[in-house]
Chains A and B, each alone.
Chain A
Amino acid sequence: MEVKLLPVLNRQLVSLDRLRGADQLGEEFVRSLKRTYQTYSGDTNRYALIRELLDLYDILLACRPRMANLILDLQKTLIFLAEKENAGVLDLSNFTDSLLRLKKARMDRAGEAGAEVLSRGQTILLHSHSRTLKFILEHAVGKVELPDVIVAEQDQNKTTRLMISLKRCGYKFKVVSEYSLSHVLEELDFALFGALTLDSHGNLIVGPGSSALMCQLSRARVPVYLAITTNKLSFWEDSFDAAFSELRKKERAGIEYEKQVFSHDLIPLDVCKGIITERGVLTPPQMRMVFDKMQRAFLDREKLIRSLV
């Protein structure tokens, strides 16, 4: 493992994840792999490529937070190489194309499932701005009667991006501060959130502020739906920091203090009424079953790729 590459790649991935979101980062990651296969001037025989990809795989595993969708794609690539005799650069390029098609198909199916959920309500609450959520909002246009939207105002950039998506799609919306939602709870038919990942402890990793909101909504019996595709699930059994934190030195009114800032929130899966995935709208128990099955497959693949070298 190249020690120096790790901090550089980690920094880059965190920055891109923040700027573009996990889904777009996933696409950029796969396209970058394809470009690398095409321009790599080193040894391109199958075993050499397996070694190189395994090195990259280990580096990704060492990154914090771990980017589940990237690791999964790399794992699948390694399995492809392991199973296909005489696989070369061209085969790998074609395989990355198939990964990109799979991503699109996954998003389309999630969009269909999400559109069906949107048709269930007249007034809904939106807080996060994930690409999956944005896709669902866009996908519903022209297919179902669009609900009115209340936007829970949070970070200015995120709220603005959400408003731009809504305006572009023609949704009627109003903005309410996330601190004052108690006044509009009765108007809501349900709330829709995005998530970064679901871990093996049954915790959803969500945007900052989402956890408190979801609890408030749950207590007020407002159904909470969550949109996440299964390629973003984190199957590791060890505890890892999906939400990383940093301690920042600050000063206010002449008082110096330390502020601990967390990148994400945690909330148990059971808070949700339904989870919108490319497999349809799942209840929490169904989601757990899917997770367990996919986790077993993931760990089997992990054993296989470790046996490659």
Chain B
Amino acid sequence: MMFEQVVVVSVFTLVFLAIITEKLDKTLVALFGALFLISTGFIEFEEAVDAVDFNTICLLMGMMLIVETLSEVQIFRWSALKLGLLTKGNPVLIFFLFGLSTAVFSAFLDNVTTVLIIVPLVITLTEGIGLPATPFVMTVIFLSNIGGTATMIGDPPNIIIGSQVEHLTFMSFIQYLTLPVVVSSLLVMLYILYKNRSTIKSRNSSFSWLFMSNLMLEDMYCELEELKIPRSHAVKSLSIFGLVLLFFFSHNITHLEPSVVALSGAVLMLIAFHKELNLHHLIAKVEWPTLLFFAGLFVIVGALEHAGVLKIVSHSLVSITDNFLLLVLIVLWASAMFSAVVDNIPFVAVMIPVLKDLLSSGAFSHEPKSQLIWWALALGACFGGNGTLIGASANVVSVAIAKTKGLTITFKDFLKDSIPATVITLLVSTAYIVFLYYL
């Protein structure tokens, strides 16, 4: 048993290190680790298949297809242009409208898609009117991670938690996480606004700059006019998307797994657009490497569970403290710190069986507020992604987009705002969890 545990932990550690150092593609590493463990018998093939959470994978796949179809139909471009026009070139409106929209989009779309839509437009708008784009881009990055925390589908850690923890539903994520997300969003925005108060202000008293922003707006009007989305495309795609959301919300009534809802929605989208869009092209756009990464990771975590490693970890956690609230807060802050520097998905994937074991046995098996531990994990894993430039994919993608537009945000530049922003969100989460515990 000891030898098995050492080997499995070593494989997991090597995979984790490979992911952190980015020496090899993470999908390749995860798949290699999984297949090594299967082929050497540390986990049986059937056990490996059982370990793969198809709920998570199918939910991800379904949402990817839906998002890709919406993107092909230009719904996102249209929305972004409309948003830009609503700001009327006013820096304060740009700041708030794009920040809040990012949070809302992120709650229902994946964060990377959200920043791919919003960041280029924000940079074009702000630089087009001579504003420094950095505070706006940083706000969008932070709000994409914060907003994605609000729903079960907004961020991969939530998708995994929601799929693997039975009593957590789509509505329960919204019920419990909306408040800390809203408060954190507002406080982070106010912090950045205060820090940049000399630049983020109205320019209506400067004729030339006002003209500059109106020229930008005029061009956006023209682009919007040229972007002729057929009414039928908009109706079809938004109706199906709306239906998917409705079924997510009504999980308590329909008892349909979110993965089933997402995949059904995706298939409906493909049927609805089978004449207008290339089916194979859409399917090819699914991030198969990401899905394979998840599969490999689940197998490795399954092997850790099978070898009894996770039981040892959960017993160790219990020995730290017998105070449940303190344990929850440790999970919150530890998740955040981990997420800030490493990929939060493997961390969450490992923590779920550890915490399940912790809650089902020993001192906390009858804890009435046991659900708090899942919210702590979700809040910590998602908010922690704001901690550093490498803390979340959305951060890396946004900075890369900014670089293509001539805007450089270094690791240090990022930290100047990310540390205060992350601390703000974690303090809000701490206060919220304490409040819920004593409620």
Contact = CB atoms under 8 A, between A and B. Distances in A.
B136 to A, nearest CB: 15
Interface in A1-44: 2, 4-5, 8-9, 12, 16, 20, 24, 28-29, 31-33, 35-36, 39-42
A59 interface: yes
B215 interface: yes
A36 B130 CA distance: 16
Interface residues of A, number: 25
Contact of A20 (B205, B208, B214, B222): B222
A28 B218 contact: yes
Contacts of B216: 12
A24 B222 contact: yes
A12 B130 CA distance: 11
Contacts of A91: none
B219 A56 contact: no
A8 B218 contact: no
B217 interface: yes
A52 interface: yes
Contacts of A29: 215
B53 interface: no
Given A20-B222, A28-B219, A32-B215, A56 B207 contact: yes
A164 to B, nearest CB: 12
Interface string B203-217: 011111111101111
Which among B128, B215, B222 has the highest number of chain A CB atoms within 10 Å?
B215
A39 B210 contact: yes
Nearest to B88: A39
B343 interface: no
B208 A35 contact: no
B205 A36 contact: no
Nearest to A4: B130
B218 A31 contact: yes
Which among A39, A52, A55 has the highest number of chain B CB atoms within 10 Å?
A39
A33 B127 contact: no
Contacts of B218: 28, 31-32, 35
A36 B222 contact: no
Contact of B207 (A4, A20, A55): A55
A8 B222 contact: no
Given A12-B128, A32-B214, A5 B208 contact: yes
B209 A5 contact: yes
Given A8-B128, A8-B130, A28 B215 contact: yes
Nearest to B215: A32
B208 A12 contact: no
B92 to A, nearest CB: 14
Contacts of B214: 32-33, 35-36, 39
A19 to B, nearest CB: 8
Which among B128, B202, B208, B222 has the highest number of chain A CB atoms within 10 Å?
B208
A87 B218 CA distance: 25
A35 B85 CA distance: 13
A56 B202 CA distance: 19
B210 A12 contact: no
Given A31-B218, A32-B215, A40 B210 contact: yes
Interface in B161-214: 202, 204-212, 214
Contact of B217 (A35, A55, A56): A35
Contacts of B208: 2, 5, 9, 52, 55-56, 59
B206 A12 contact: no
Interface in B330-374: none
Contacts of A55: 207-208
Contacts of A28: 215, 218-219, 222
A95 to B, nearest CB: 15
Interface in A218-259: none
B207 A42 contact: yes
A122 B219 CA distance: 38
A8 B212 contact: yes
A52 B207 contact: yes
A32 B209 CA distance: 11
A290 B128 CA distance: 37
Interface string A42-69: 1000000000110110010000000000
13 contacts: A5-B208, A12-B212, A33-B211, A35-B214, A35-B217, A36-B207, A36-B210, A39-B210, A40-B204, A40-B207, A53-B207, A56-B207, A56-B211
Given A41-B205, A52-B207, 12 more contacts: A4-B130, A5-B212, A8-B128, A8-B212, A9-B212, A16-B215, A32-B214, A32-B215, A35-B217, A36-B207, A40-B207, A56-B208
Shortest 5 CB-CB contacts between residues of A and residues of B: A52-B207, A32-B214, A41-B204, A32-B215, A35-B214
Interface of B: 88, 127-130, 202, 204-212, 214-219, 222
